[in-house]
Amino acid sequence: MKKLKVSLDGGMTYNNADVNDVRVIYEDVDSDLVGDGTGVDVHITLSPEGIVTDIYSSETNVGTNSILIEEEVERLVSSAGWVDNVKDI
C-alpha cells in the first residue's frame, strides 16, 4: 500500500503521515473569475489514492477536481517525454 510522508521543514526531513489523508488550505488566493474580489480558498487533500482539489468562495464549493496518483504519475512522465523509458505503472 502507498504511504504518505510529510515534511514540515521544506523537505529536509520526512515523517510517515499516520493518517488517511493530509489537508492543506491556501487562503485568499486572488481570482478574477470567482467571488467578490476578496479571493478564494483552495483546499488540497492528499491521500494514498490521489489528490483532490476544491475551490471555495464565501464558504461555497465552486469547483472540485480529483486525480488518482497513478494517473498523475503517468501524466507527468508523459509530459516529460520519458514514456519510452518507463514500464507500465
- pLDDT by residue, tens only, the chain of 89 residues: 678 899 999 999 999 988 888 999 999 888 777 656 668 899 999 998 999 999 998 888 989 999 999 999 888 888 877 655 555 54
CA distance 42 to 57: 9
Q: How far is CA 10 from the centre of its chain?
A: 17
Tell me, letter by letter, the H, E, C secondary structure of the chain: CCCCEECCCCCCCCEECCCCCEEEEEEEECCCCCCCCCCEEEEEEECCCEEEEEEEECCEEEEEEEEEHHHHHHHHHHHCCCHHHCCCC
Q: What residue type is 10 in one-letter code? A: G
**Three cell numbers written together for 11:** 523537505
